[in-house]
Chains A and B, each alone.
Chain A
Amino acid sequence: MMTSKSVNKLVLTSMVCVLLTACSGSQIKPITDPGYQPGKEDARLRITADRLSKRIEDSRHYYHDPEVQDYLNRIARRLVGSLELGDIKLNIQVIENPNYNAFVLANGHIYIHTGLLSLIDSEAELATILAHEIGHVVHRDAARAADQRKSAANLYAGFSALPLINIFGGLHMAGSISGYSRDLERNADHYAAERLNQAGYNLAEGSGIFRKLSEATEGITENDTPYFFSTHPRMKERVDSFGQLEFGNNSNQQKQAPIESTPNIIFRDMAWSTLANYIELGNTAQAEHLLPRLKEYESNNAVLRYYEAKIAQLKGEDEEYRSLLNQALALEDQPDIRRELGLLSFKNRDWANAREHLTQYLKQAPEAKDRMFIEAYLREIKEHKDTEQ
């Protein structure tokens, strides 16, 4: 039997261990510190990170656009002077994924999802995300987190393993990267604010990205859709925390001109493909959230009307769906629009319109993947028309 005395002793020992853990974490010096020496843990983490980077860069999710990558790396260079930080070289990359997420690996590779880039309006917002992630690299947060986990594992056998990093896949898995602890995230925010200020960015403008994320993810639970900085502190807390930093730095003015004054133009193609992705996945709320942003670029565009029609279809608004498809067709005669109108007419037994649209569709897209089906529908239409005559 354990006496209360021995229980107290155990608790005391545990507390000492926790304190030691905290102390060992603080021994990890920032990468920019003159006394910085990479440890065994850093080397181990970098090997794993390199493997993961290779997987990402070989995967279909890797978004390769030299112009975009160059722009992102130029912002990073402006924030920290050079892409080389100690023995780490920063490398900013993009992942084609509609979820709002960004993360950094221990090898200095920072990944931003196309979904998050689709929300960007100003360079200051983009710089805020990058500065925060660079903060994790500078503070060696991967090593800190690993160190804390190791110490915790010594205390409690069977303590949970490293968070599973899996950027591959669909609705639930993609980009689901666990954030660091609340303190490490806050430290990265402080670092970001300092760098943004130094680089001449407007902090208030930069923190706008958090407000946007807060709005875009309203009503979405963390389990449903992982998003940027989803864990600690919570999004609302982060908006407040960054707000305090803005005033603390008293630097809500852009002191230097941005590299690109309209970064949203650079990310426009991404925004289009992100919208298509939301529709494909059935994420109606996120598609509707993104749509007005695209309307700002082109308000009277057939593709835009087509996507609006697809959103109406997802919502079960059949009349709106048909009306928007007709509007799209009036703007431009495209095979996808013809196909949708043809199938809709076919389902409504409107044989004349179905025949016209589906015939046009096959003419415009002779290599259509669903050609065999469309031909079968056209045969069926002919039978119906013959019977009716």
Chain B
Amino acid sequence: MKVLPSITMLVALVFSTLYTYAEEAQAIDTITHGLDVDFTVPASWYLYPRSQAIVLTRDGELLQSVSISRIGYGKKLTNIDRTLDKNALVSELGELYMQNIENSSEVSKLERLAFEPAQHGSLSGFTLKYRFKISNGAWMLGSLIVLTGENYVYQVLYSGTERVYFERGEKGFEAFLASLRILKH
């Protein structure tokens, strides 16, 4: 009788959606998450909701991925001891994000490629395009879109290896971005 709980667990696992979630996500047209966003998962992409962010990838997270997350004003960025000031101008926020990326333990040889204003729906912000090397040596490209809301700053990052994968996922990323709606900001 001792095997009964194990069998029950096995059956529950087989019929649960827990580990087939990524595949199922493709079948759903739009998804709304705890981040108060709504978007369509691009064809052939997979979705991985995390505690602080939603990650989407076509070929695997290490090769190329999109992540969306948000930070409340007054909170610190991850790599520097600086907080997001609600009164900061968009260009000042951009500098702060650049310093944050520069001080990431994963990033070396950072090159800024473009820094320009961005608009997404009613939200304004900036786009920061950059090139960097990660610790295992691969050159990567990153495209960070930061949008400032009333209570939160939303961050959408698309990154991928400079060779092959960034370009390969770019259309998917554009489709994702076109479908993205920020519901509460």
**Taking beta carbons and an 8 Å cutoff, which residues of A are in contact with B?**
59-60, 166, 168-171, 173-174, 280-283, 314, 343, 346-347, 369-370, 372-374, 376-377
- A281 partner, pick from B80, B91, B95, B105, beta carbons under 8 A: B80
> Is B75 part of the binding interface, using a Cβ–Cβ cutoff of 8 Å?
no
Q: Give B90-130 as 1s and 0s: 1 = Cβ < 8 Å from A's Cβ atoms.
A: 11101100010001111011101001110000000010000
Instruction: Specify which chain A residues have a CB less than 8 angstroms from the CB of B92 in the assembled complex.
Output: 343
> Is B150 part of the binding interface, using a Cβ–Cβ cutoff of 8 Å?
no
Contact B103 A343 (CB under 8 A): no
Instruction: Specify which chain A residues have a CB less than 8 angstroms from the CB of B110 in the assembled complex.
Output: 60
Q: In the complex the two chains form, what is the Cα distance from A343 to B94 in whole Å?
A: 14
Q: In the complex the two chains form, what is the Cα distance from A369 to B110 in whole Å?
A: 15
Instruction: Specify which chain A residues have a CB less than 8 angstroms from the CB of B126 in the assembled complex.
Output: 373
Q: In the complex the two chains form, what is the Cα distance from A41 to B87 in whole Å?
A: 57
Q: In the complex the two chains form, what is the Cα distance from A8 to B80 in whole Å?
A: 52
- B81 partner, pick from A282, A370, A377, beta carbons under 8 A: A282
- A370 partner, pick from B79, B91, B105, beta carbons under 8 A: B91
Instruction: Specify which chain A residues have a CB less than 8 angstroms from the CB of B109 in the assembled complex.
Output: 60
Instruction: Specify which chain B residues have a CB less than 8 angstroms from the CB of A60 in the assembled complex.
Output: 108-110
Contact A168 B108 (CB under 8 A): yes
Closest residue of A by beta carbon distance from B77: A282
Instruction: Specify which chain B residues have a CB less than 8 angstroms from the CB of A283 in the assembled complex.
Output: 81
Q: In the complex the two chains form, what is the Cα distance from A174 to B105 in whole Å?
A: 8
Q: In the complex the two chains form, what is the Cα distance from A283 to B82 in whole Å?
A: 9
Contact B90 A281 (CB under 8 A): no
Instruction: Specify which chain B residues have a CB less than 8 angstroms from the CB of A282 in the assembled complex.
Output: 80-82
Q: In the complex the two chains form, what is the Cα distance from A314 to B80 in whole Å?
A: 12
Contact A370 B99 (CB under 8 A): no
**Taking beta carbons and an 8 Å cutoff, which residues of B are in contact with A?**
79-82, 87, 89-92, 94-95, 99, 103-106, 108-110, 112, 115-117, 126, 135
Evaluate whether A369 and B112 lie within 8 angstroms (CB atoms) in the complex, with A171-B103, A343-B91, A376-B117 already known. Answer: yes
Contact A280 B89 (CB under 8 A): no
Instruction: Specify which chain A residues have a CB less than 8 angstroms from the CB of B106 in the assembled complex.
Output: 169
Q: In the complex the two chains form, what is the Cα distance from A372 to B90 in whole Å?
A: 11
- B117 partner, pick from A343, A346, A373, beta carbons under 8 A: A373
Contact B105 A169 (CB under 8 A): yes
Tell me the minimal C-beta distance from B83 to chain A in angstroms. Answer: 8
Closest residue of B by beta carbon distance from A374: B91
Q: In the complex the two chains form, what is the Cα distance from A346 to B92 in whole Å?
A: 12
Given A169-B79, A373-B89, A376-B117, 4 new contacts (CB under 8 A): A170-B80, A314-B82, A343-B92, A372-B116
- B103 partner, pick from A59, A170, A369, A374, beta carbons under 8 A: A170
21 residue pairs of the A-B complex, CB under 8 angstroms, read: A59-B108, A60-B110, A168-B108, A169-B79, A169-B103, A170-B80, A171-B80, A280-B99, A280-B103, A281-B82, A281-B103, A282-B82, A343-B92, A369-B112, A372-B116, A372-B117, A373-B89, A373-B91, A373-B94, A373-B126, A374-B91
Q: In the complex the two chains form, what is the Cα distance from A279 to B89 in whole Å?
A: 19
Evaluate whether A377 and B80 lie within 8 angstroms (CB atoms) in the complex, with A171-B103, A370-B115, A372-B116 already known. Answer: no
Closest residue of A by beta carbon distance from B83: A282
Evaluate whether A346 and B89 lie within 8 angstroms (CB atoms) in the complex, with A168-B108, A169-B103 already known. Answer: yes
Q: In the complex the two chains form, what is the Cα distance from A369 to B116 in whole Å?
A: 9
Instruction: Specify which chain B residues have a CB less than 8 angstroms from the CB of A374 in the assembled complex.
Output: 91
Closest 3 CB pairs of A and B: A169-B105, A170-B103, A282-B81
Tell me the minimal C-beta distance from A284 to chain B in angstroms. Answer: 8
Instruction: Specify which chain B residues have a CB less than 8 angstroms from the CB of A59 in the assembled complex.
Output: 108
Tell me the minimal C-beta distance from B80 to chain A in angstroms. Answer: 5
Evaluate whether A369 and B115 lie within 8 angstroms (CB atoms) in the complex, with A281-B80, A343-B89 already known. Answer: yes
Instruction: Specify which chain A residues have a CB less than 8 angstroms from the CB of B87 in the assembled complex.
Output: 347
Instruction: Specify which chain A residues have a CB less than 8 angstroms from the CB of B95 in the assembled complex.
Output: 370
Tell me the minimal C-beta distance from A311 to chain B in angstroms. Answer: 13
Closest residue of A by beta carbon distance from B112: A369
Closest residue of A by beta carbon distance from B126: A373
Closest residue of A by beta carbon distance from B95: A370
- B94 partner, pick from A168, A370, A376, beta carbons under 8 A: A370
Q: In the complex the two chains form, what is the Cα distance from A82 to B40 in whole Å?
A: 67
Q: In the complex the two chains form, what is the Cα distance from A194 to B112 in whole Å?
A: 50
Tell me the minimal C-beta distance from A358 to chain B in angstroms. Answer: 11
Closest residue of A by beta carbon distance from B116: A372
Instruction: Specify which chain B residues have a CB less than 8 angstroms from the CB of A169 in the assembled complex.
Output: 79, 103-106
Tell me the minimal C-beta distance from B94 to chain A in angstroms. Answer: 7
Tell me the minimal C-beta distance from B116 to chain A in angstroms. Answer: 5
Instruction: Specify which chain B residues have a CB less than 8 angstroms from the CB of A171 in the assembled complex.
Output: 79-81, 103
Q: In the complex the two chains form, what is the Cα distance from A281 to B80 in whole Å?
A: 5
Evaluate whether A347 and B105 lie within 8 angstroms (CB atoms) in the complex, with A171-B79, A171-B81 already known. Answer: no
Instruction: Specify which chain A residues have a CB less than 8 angstroms from the CB of B90 in the assembled complex.
Output: 373
Tell me the minimal C-beta distance from A134 to chain B in angstroms. Answer: 29
Q: In the complex the two chains form, what is the Cα distance from A370 to B104 in whole Å?
A: 22
Closest residue of B by beta carbon distance from A371: B115
